[in-house]
Structure 1
Amino acid sequence: MNIEQIYTGCLAQGAYYIESQGEAAIIDPLREVTPYIKRATRDKAKIKYIFETHFHADFVSGHVTLAKETGATIIYGPEADPTFEALIAKDGQEFTVGALTIKVLHTPGHTMESTTYLLRDANGKDKAIFSGDTLFLGDVGRPDLAQKAAHLTQEQLAGMLFDSLRTKIMPLADDVTVYPAHGAGSACGKNMMKETVDTLGNQKKMNYALRQDMTKEEFIAEVTEGLLPPPKYFPLNVKMNKEGYEDIKDVLKRGTKALTPDEFEVLANETEAIVLDVRSEEEFVKGHIPRSIFIGLKGDFAPWVGALIADVKQTILLVTPKGQEEEAITRLSRVGFDHTIGYLKGGFNSWKKMGKETDSITSIHAEKLIKELSDKELAVFDVRKESEYSAAHLPQADNTPLDVINEHLASFPDNRTFYLHCAGGYRSVIAASILKSRGIHNLVDVAGGFSAIKLAGIKTTDYVCPSTL
């Protein structure tokens, strides 16, 4: 028996490879399927099944392409309604992979079709569950994503999730391994642990949602408390996962078109394409194409693209570090952004060499901010999450979280300089690029963010542990 977690950090997503006696199954694959095929080839195994735990909202799965390339059967749990060919399993139905058995446990609540897959070894012993978004480590899936489609309230779905956990998962033995679909950093839950694998027994001790003495009413209240609005691209990803999508090979072919600076400029001016610069924040601050948006590859790239650009049909022109064009297009396609139409050949340096217009961001170190803070009228905007801001912040700062910055445009002064910061510098540069693209240029970025502010000894509000908020 071979179980391998294939974890993608930028999406906080876990896909799974299971192999036994020359047969293999993939659970919740990402869109680029070549790694799974190569993995099976290495084991001289045939991919027999592709198990989907539910219609994912935060990424586009690779199920359709993988089935096409391998002949494997796509399996969903009860109540799934894809438009492509798939086997809709019954609750309790079993499938064999070599000497192993995979049993379908219908666990609605996160979505109506949400399913947990129970793996049994050759002796029939329960070994692991692949819990999708039903059970995370430290948390459970949010129950507000499927309410419109299911014609149910989030409270009704949360009640179903309570029943699913207590009738299907909690009765399993403590030594069963839990393999979730996501870890910390995903927008699919609130309090996920940084670990990506655990025992069910430990989760029964550590996970607030699995308390033995918890009533359904208490569960519903705790699971639905503090849910932030889901990113706007989530429904669009669900639609692609239910209806199918373009082959990633075609997406890459279209996106990896090298454009000279002149060609790039013409497309930027004559189309509605966004110029997306994926270099580091330090490089972008020093110089960039006017009105371009910065979202760096080294950060939580794909989720921020989804949250801030939102429309997966938006055409995109890329400015990338040399040799990272394909990586950027691949990571965009993971969240459904398939309409990259080319990249700047030679990168930003080629743009500068042609003498074309450039822009930059004024940036200061925290030590200089100390001098500026003597001005009682100083305007400071903290673009971290509300929970980060509540834990500790500059007394002068207003909280304008990056994911809703477009709703705060009127808050930024137009007649004087203001300052932006986040935790480490990545998000504030994204915010600065968005503001500048909308004609707001009277801003200064604080390099290094709140971490640098604290190191500089600048007075902040008393720190409060976020878990106690």
Structure 2
Amino acid sequence: MIIEQIYTGCLAQGAYYIESNGEVAIIDPLREVQPYVDKATANGGKIKYIFETHFHADFVSGHVTLAEKTGAPIVFGPNANPTFEAHIAIDGEVFQLGEITITCLHTPGHTMESSCYLLKDKDGKDYALFSGDTLFLGDVGRPDLAQKAADMTQEQLAGTLFDSLRTKVMTLADDVIVYPAHGAGSACGKNLSKETVGSIGDQKATNYALRADMTREEFISEVTDGLLPPPAYFPMNVKLNKEGYGNVEDIIREAKAFDAKTFELVANETEALILDVRHQDDFEKGHIPKSIFIGIDGQFAPWVGALILDSKQEILLVTPEGREEETIKRLARVGYDNTLGYLKGGFEAWKNAGLEYDTVTSVTAQVLEEKIEEKVPVFDVRKPGEYASEHILDVPSTPLDFLNEHFAEFPKEEDFYLHCAGGYRSMIAASILKARGYHNVINVLGGFAAIRNTGIKTTNYVCPSTLK
């Protein structure tokens, strides 16, 4: 038996490759599926099942393309209603895979079709639980995403999740391995662990939502407390996962390599957004006017989904050399399929063509310390939880996730300063503001990590009205 977790840090997502006696199952595959096919072929195996734990909201799964490539059936749990052909399992249905079995455990609550898959070894012993978004390490799936589809309140969904956990998950033996769909960084829960593999026993001992003495009412209160609004792209991804999508390989093939002059022409003739995915330091030193920065080496896909509100938006890319295809692929993972092409030769080709470019003004935290005595406007674009933990005295919370709601607060005439935790998110915010005409924005290098090393006064007092 082979179990391999294929973890994608950008999405904080775990897909799973399971093999026994030449038969293979894939659980929650990424959209680009050829690596799974290649792995099975290299092992002399054949993909027999494609299991989906639920209709994912935070990424486009590869189930449809993988089924087309392999002929393997897509398996969902009860209540799933995809528009394409799929096997809708009944609760407790058993699937034979070589010498092992995989049992569908219907665990509604995160969504109403949510299911876990229990792997039993060749001796029939419970071995591992692929828990999807029902159970994470340190947390459980948020119960507010499926309210509209289920015609239920988040409290009703949370109560349903409580029942699922107590009757289907917590009854398993402590030594059963837990393989969740996500880890820290995912917006599908509040308090996910950085660990990506655990056990039922560990979770019973450490996960707040699995306390043995927890009442249903306590569970509902704690699980729903402090939930931030979900990213704007979540409903679009659910729709794609339910209705299908194009092959990512076709999207890559259709994207064109433009020389600098043609790139400029296409940008001027279309409504395409110019997305620059280089390192923030490179963007700071020079970028195409009105381009938006979201670095490929940060939490790229989730920030694209949160900040580019129209998934059908046409996109032109500026990437590091050799990372063009990777960028197109990672955009497609969250449903952004309209990449027209990329700047051949990267930003250097733009400069060498003598075309106009812009820069971002940045200062050190030490400079900010001097300026802050003059009561200059400063904005903190970190998440509300980071802000609540510690922030500069009298500086408001303007989370990057909700930047569009704060434009009226930024001054148009005087200089103002942005910071995040380390510099990645503040550069994203600066690029968006500059594209909107706020050329008086100044980025603070090193973010709050650098600010802590100065004499700038900080506090952890939070007025509730300052948080989203």
TM-score, normalised with respect to structure 1: 0.97
For the 8 Å contact 1:231–1:310, the answer to whether it is kept is no
For the 8 Å contact 1:54–1:76, the answer to whether it is kept is yes
1:103 aligns with 2:103: yes
- Mapped to 2, the partners of 1:201 and 1:96 lie a distance apart of 27
Q: Name the aligned partner's letter for residue 399 of structure 1.
A: S
- Mapped to 2, the partners of 1:403 and 1:21 lie a distance apart of 47
For the 8 Å contact 2:77–2:106, the answer to whether it is kept is yes
1:86 aligns with 2:115: no
Runs of 4+ in 1 over 4 A off after TM superposition: none
- Mapped to 1, the partners of 2:457 and 2:35 lie a distance apart of 49
> Which sits farther off after the overlay, 317-326 or 265-274?
265-274
For structure 1, which runs of at least 5 residues remain unmatched after alignment?
A: none
| Alpha-carbon distance, 1:250 to partner | 0.7
| Alpha-carbon distance, 1:415 to partner | 2.0
Q: Name the aligned partner's letter for residue 71 of structure 1.
A: G
Q: Which residue in the other structure is 1:361 paired with? A: 360
Match of 2:456 among 455, 458, 464: 458
Q: Which residue in the other structure is 1:309 paired with? A: 308
- SS of the aligned residue for 1:163 comes to helix
- SS of the aligned residue for 2:101 comes to strand
- Mapped to 2, the partners of 1:113 and 1:33 lie a distance apart of 23
Q: Which residue in the other structure is 1:349 paired with? A: 348
- SS of the aligned residue for 1:24 comes to strand
- Mapped to 2, the partners of 1:6 and 1:342 lie a distance apart of 29
1:2-13 equivalences under 5 Å are 2-13=2-13
Q: Which residue in the other structure is 2:56 paired with? A: 56
Describe the shift of the 1:36–1:367 C-alpha distance in structure 2 as closer, same or farther (beyond 3 A): same
For the 8 Å contact 1:379–1:396, the answer to whether it is kept is no
Deviation per CA, 1:116-138: give whole Å up to 9, x if none.
00000011000010010000000
- Mapped to 1, the partners of 2:44 and 2:230 lie a distance apart of 41
Q: Name the aligned partner's letter for residue 94 of structure 1.
A: V
- SS of the aligned residue for 1:455 comes to coil
| Alpha-carbon distance, 1:462 to partner | 5.3
- Mapped to 2, the partners of 1:115 and 1:237 lie a distance apart of 18
| Alpha-carbon distance, 1:463 to partner | 9.3
- Mapped to 2, the partners of 1:354 and 1:39 lie a distance apart of 44
- Mapped to 2, the partners of 1:195 and 1:457 lie a distance apart of 35
Q: Which residue in the other structure is 1:338 paired with? A: 337
- SS of the aligned residue for 2:387 comes to helix
| Alpha-carbon distance, 1:454 to partner | 1.2
Q: Name the aligned partner's letter for residue 153 of structure 2.
A: T
- Mapped to 1, the partners of 2:402 and 2:69 lie a distance apart of 40
Q: Name the aligned partner's letter for residue 306 of structure 1.
A: G
1:174 aligns with 2:177: no
Deviation per CA, 1:112-168: give whole Å up to 9, x if none.
100000000011000010010000000000111111011111111111000000000
For structure 2, which runs of at least 5 residues remain unmatched after alignment?
A: none
- SS of the aligned residue for 2:349 comes to helix
TM-score, normalised with respect to structure 2: 0.97
| Alpha-carbon distance, 1:459 to partner | 3.0
- Mapped to 2, the partners of 1:264 and 1:454 lie a distance apart of 42
Q: Which residue in the other structure is 2:418 paired with? A: 420
Q: Which residue in the other structure is 1:394 paired with? A: 392
- SS of the aligned residue for 1:160 comes to helix
- Mapped to 1, the partners of 2:460 and 2:387 lie a distance apart of 11
- Mapped to 1, the partners of 2:135 and 2:307 lie a distance apart of 28
- Mapped to 2, the partners of 1:396 and 1:6 lie a distance apart of 44
- Mapped to 2, the partners of 1:421 and 1:177 lie a distance apart of 41
- Mapped to 2, the partners of 1:221 and 1:366 lie a distance apart of 40
Q: Which residue in the other structure is 1:436 paired with? A: 434
For the 8 Å contact 1:183–1:193, the answer to whether it is kept is yes
| Alpha-carbon distance, 1:455 to partner | 2.3
- SS of the aligned residue for 1:16 comes to strand
Q: Name the aligned partner's letter for residue 251 of structure 1.
A: I
> Which sits farther off after the overlay, 294-303 or 38-47?
38-47
Q: Name the aligned partner's letter for residue 348 of structure 1.
A: F
1:292 aligns with 2:291: yes
Q: Which residue in the other structure is 1:370 paired with? A: 369
| Alpha-carbon distance, 1:42 to partner | 2.0
For the 8 Å contact 1:94–1:103, the answer to whether it is kept is yes
- Mapped to 2, the partners of 1:296 and 1:109 lie a distance apart of 34
Q: Name the aligned partner's letter for residue 306 of structure 2.
A: A
1:17-32 equivalences under 5 Å are 17-32=17-32
For the 8 Å contact 2:388–2:460, the answer to whether it is kept is no
Q: Name the aligned partner's letter for residue 224 of structure 1.
A: T
1:217 aligns with 2:217: yes
What is the aligned length? Answer: 463
- Mapped to 2, the partners of 1:100 and 1:135 lie a distance apart of 23
Q: Name the aligned partner's letter for residue 383 of structure 2.
A: K
- Mapped to 2, the partners of 1:22 and 1:178 lie a distance apart of 24
CA RMSD in angstroms comes to 1.2
Deviation per CA, 1:207-258: give whole Å up to 9, x if none.
0110111111111111111111111110100010011100111111122x10
Q: Which residue in the other structure is 2:323 paired with? A: 324
- Mapped to 2, the partners of 1:396 and 1:322 lie a distance apart of 42
